Structures are given as C-alpha cells and as structure tokens.
Amino acid sequence: MTLTPPPQRPARSAGRELKEKGLFEAARSVFAEEGFKGATTAEIARRAGVPKANLHYYFPTKEALYRAVTEEILSDWLAAASSFDENDDPKQAISTYVAAKMDLARADPLGSRIWASEILRGAPVIKDFLETTLAEWLASREAIMRRWIAAGKIRSLEPRYFFYMIWATTQHYADFEDQIKALNGGAPLSDEQFQKAKAQAIDTILNGVMP
Amino acid sequence: MTLTPPPQRPARSAGRELKEKGLFEAARSVFAEEGFKGATTAEIARRAGVPKANLHYYFPTKEALYRAVTEEILSDWLAAASSFDENDDPKQAISTYVAAKMDLARADPLGSRIWASEILRGAPVIKDFLETTLAEWLASREAIMRRWIAAGKIRSLEPRYFFYMIWATTQHYADFEDQIKALNGGAPLSDEQFQKAKAQAIDTILNGVMP
DNA sequence: ACGAGAATTGACCGCTTGGTCAAATCCATC
DNA sequence: GATGGATTTGACCAAGCGGTCAATTCTCGT
C-alpha cells in the first residue's frame, strides 16, 4: 500500500510532489508533538505554508494524511530491522541491530514519536501491522535467538523481552529527547555524546546477554 | 504544592473527596489515551459520571486538572527512585531500583503514559521538574555510580546513559503495553509473564554492568 | 492564443471545544 | 424550620475544529 496522489491523474509539474512533501513533513512534526487527535489540519497547513483548503486537496482527510505518514514509519522500521539478519554471529547481529535502531532514532526522531503516540492511544491504525508483520518478524527472530541459546552462544533468556529492551532503549533517545535535553543542561545530545550513548547501549546490552 | 480544593472552605461531606477522586481518575485515563490537547473535559466528565459543569466546579480549568494529575505522578516517580538508595551494594541497589520501576510501571501504567505524552509534547508543564529535581537526583546518583566504578565494583560507563536504559526498559512495559499486548496474542502480560520480564530485565541489566 | 483540466483559495458550514452562569437543590447549623 | 453557604446542573457562548465548495488562476497540449 503505497501513497497515492489524491486525484489519480499524472503529476503535472515537480511542484506537486514538492508541495505534497512539504505538507507531509509538516504533518509529521505536528503529529509527533500533538498526537493524532491533538493535531489540527490548520496547524499542519500553517507550518507547510499553504491554505488549509489546499491541504485537503492533496490529502482528503486528516486520517488519510496520518495514514500516509504512518506507513512510511513502519517501512523505515522494517528496513532497520533487517540489519539483524546481516550476520549469523550473535554478537555481530545484536551490535549491528542496536546500532541501526540508535541511528534511526537519531535520524528520524519524529517517526519514533509518532509511533509512540500511536501506541499510547491504543494503536487503532497500526494494530494490524503489530499483530501480523511485527509479530511475525518477532517470532522468527525469537527462533534465531533460541538456536543461539541452545548452541550456548548467548545466555538463556526469553528473546522477546530482550527485544523489548532494545526497542525501549533505542527509541528512548527519540521519544524522550526533550527529557534528555533537560537533563543535559538544555542542549540536545551532541554527536559525540550520542555516539558515546550508542556505544554504551551496544556494550551494556551485549554484556547483558553474552555468556 | 499540594492539590487545593477549588473553594477553600472545609470539606462538608465525604462525598466531596470521592467525587473529586472520581474526576481525577477519569482525567488520568483520558490524558493517558489522548494527551493533554487531545483530552476533552466532556469526555473526562462523562467517564466520571458527572456533568461537565460539575467538573469545572472542582477543577476550574483543564490545565489545573492536568497539573494536579501530573504532580502526583512526579511524586510517585520520586518515591520509586528512593529505592536506589536503600543499599550500598551496587548489585542490590540496581536490582531493587529496577524492580521498583517495573512494579511502578505495572501498578500505574497510566501515570507512565501521561509522563511520556507530556515529554512528547515538549514537557511544558514538567520542564521545571526535569531541569531541577530530576537533574539533581540524576547528578547525585551519577556520583554514587562513579564511586562504584572507581572502586571497581561495576564496569566503567557513563552513568546517565545507564539510567536512561533503566527508565526506557521499565517504562516500556507501561507506555507500550498495547504493542506488547498485540505481540502477545492480544492479551496483556499475565502476572507470571510480567514477573519473568522483570526478572530478566534485572538480570540483563546487572550482567550488563557487573565486571 | 485558446480550451480544458489541474491547482489554489477565501468564504463558509455544522459540530465540538473549554469555559461560564444563573437558577435550583442540598445540608449543617441555629 | 429557617438561613445561608456548598454544591449541582441545563443552557448557553465564543472560539476552534475538520471538511466543503464555487470561483479563480495556473499550466500545458494543441
């Protein structure tokens, strides 16, 4: 399900995609701050610098816009998740995956926050994704981890709670960025600080599971 | 700053505190689901089973109600935080603290979610708490951990990122409960599952930092 | 240069929002 | 049982909401 232009005629000029992209990005920032219900189409339009009626030309309803935003986020999540499979060695697989999730949180904090906000309100839009695609992803990686455990390559543990820890820790840097900022003298983590945090997350998690 | 009755006259009957408590609890559930902006006083009043005008008698504005809810959450957070200091031994202190945070997430998921939602919108109401009380708590516990590191009792690490991992992991079980539910066949974690998750969180975190 | 569809937009609509208010009711005290 | 403040509540209001629409302007193939 990819995002379709509102009327299905061929795009006329490059301005179309540009404007759509502007609205899309404005929507991301407003949804991330206010959640679906708290977000207003007027505010989204204002940030995009277009009249509200113009927004409704590109995205017929607030929910259609929200769904478009959401789909991209799920797609990015899956892309980062694939890094877990790039290596057969647990140490490498886990390191790579945690690093990818940390980088995603850093590169796209808004996406992570929209996800969080969607879960907080009961996940009405992504519930199906969670119950099917995400559940399947988790089940198959649990199987991999159980083989590692059986082979004595990692400690014995319940894989899903391990993944929850990874998700929680990495996404915390996006979702709670404002809290981290407040605890960092008002400034967001510098690149050096973030690299240190990433390295430590990998390190602590690895030490936590390697025998 | 404790919560004051709207007019300051002495309470007449027990019904007053009861009604106030009902509104308070209804407000918690709505704020947790919809965030501050998405929450409506009409919905809060509906869940409390009182007319909206009655809500505004007890809490003059939506923000006053929100602030009252928020204060209690910060207070609970600090209470759980004190468990970190109950023991001089790092292993004991960390175990006890993680257990306390997990128990708090289980006992009061709404509080955790309201906190998360408040951070997501930029923490306008609790920013001062974060920059003062929370920052001081963190600084002094960082000092404790640095002494442990110097004494070789735990691995060398940056204490604050370690606390972020604890906060993230424990609060994940409250904030992302609906996601966990979706990954658990639609059912929330049973008490046994939760105890297992708690034990594993403690275990993995301890292994992650003990030398 | 003109016709036709694409894109733009101010004005507008019905509904919901947070909050107000005055009238009604309750209830401890005398 | 009368008094007066505490409490309750339906009705109401101005502002904001998501969404519509008709009139206008733009853009391209001819």
Please tell me the predicted confidence (pLDDT) of residue B14.
Answer: 61
Q: Which residue has the tokens 């009405």?
A: A124
> Do the domain assignments include residue B7?
no
| 3-state SS assignment for residue A153 | coil
Q: Sorting pLDDT into bands at 50, 70 and 90, what band is B1? A: very low
> Do the domain assignments include residue A115?
yes
Domain boundary among A66, A83, A109: A66
Q: Are residues B196 and B100 in the same domain?
A: yes
DSSP code for B54: H
- Tokens in use for A128? 């199906």
> Do the domain assignments include residue A135?
yes
Q: Please give the mean pLDDT across all residues of chain A.
A: 93
Please tell me the predicted confidence (pLDDT) of residue A19.
Answer: 80
Please tell me the predicted confidence (pLDDT) of residue A14.
Answer: 61
* Cβ contacts of A186 on chain B, cutoff 8 Å: 131
The CATH number of whichever domain residue B170 belongs to comes to 1.10.357.10
Q: Are residues A58 and A125 in the same domain?
A: no
| Predicted-complex ipTM score | 0.92
Q: For residue range B56-70, list pLDDT tens digits in order.
A: 999 999 999 999 999
Please tell me the predicted confidence (pLDDT) of residue B54.
Answer: 97
Domain boundary among A43, A66, A89: A66
Q: Which residues touch strand D (CB under 7 A)?
A: A 12-13, 15, 39-43, 52-53, 56, 60-63; B 5, 7, 9, 11-13, 15-16, 19, 50-54, 56-58
Q: Are residues B173 and B198 in the same domain?
A: yes
The CATH number of whichever domain residue B30 belongs to comes to 1.10.10.60
How much is the average pLDDT of B78-87? 94
- Tokens in use for B190? 């049973």
Q: Are residues A59 and A146 in the same domain?
A: no
> Do the domain assignments include residue B2?
no
Q: Are residues B50 and B150 in the same domain?
A: no
How much is the average pLDDT of A43-62? 97
User: Are the Cβ atoms of B35 and A35 closer than 8 angstroms?
Assistant: yes
Q: Are residues A74 and A47 in the same domain?
A: no
Q: Are residues B61 and B75 in the same domain?
A: no
**pLDDT over 80 (residue B78):** yes
How much is the average pLDDT of A35-59? 97
> Do the domain assignments include residue B4?
no
List the single residue in B with minimal CA-CA distance to A133: B183
Q: Are residues B79 and B170 in the same domain?
A: yes
Considering only CA atoms, which of B125, B129, B111 is closest in space to residue B24? B111
> Do the domain assignments include residue B177?
yes
Instruction: Report the gap between the CA of B5 and the closest CA in chain A (Å).
Output: 29
Q: Are residues B103 and B24 in the same domain?
A: no
Instruction: Report CA(B43)–C1'(D19) in Å, whole number.
Output: 23
> Do the domain assignments include residue B27?
yes
Q: Are residues A110 and A158 in the same domain?
A: yes
Q: Are residues B55 and B84 in the same domain?
A: no
Instruction: Report the gap between the CA of A74 and the closest CA in chain B (Å).
Output: 13
Q: For residue range B120-157, list pLDDT tens digits in order.
A: 999 999 999 999 999 999 999 999 999 999 999 999 99
- Given CA atoms A169, A173, A177, A182 in this order, what sign does their dihedral have? positive
> Do the domain assignments include residue A2?
no
**pLDDT over 50 (residue A13):** yes
Residue nearest to nucleotide D5 (CA to C1'): B9
Total structural domains in chain A? 2
Domain that holds residue A121: 70-209
**pLDDT over 90 (residue B5):** no
The span from the CA of A36 to the CA of B35, in Å, is: 10
Q: Are residues B47 and B111 in the same domain?
A: no
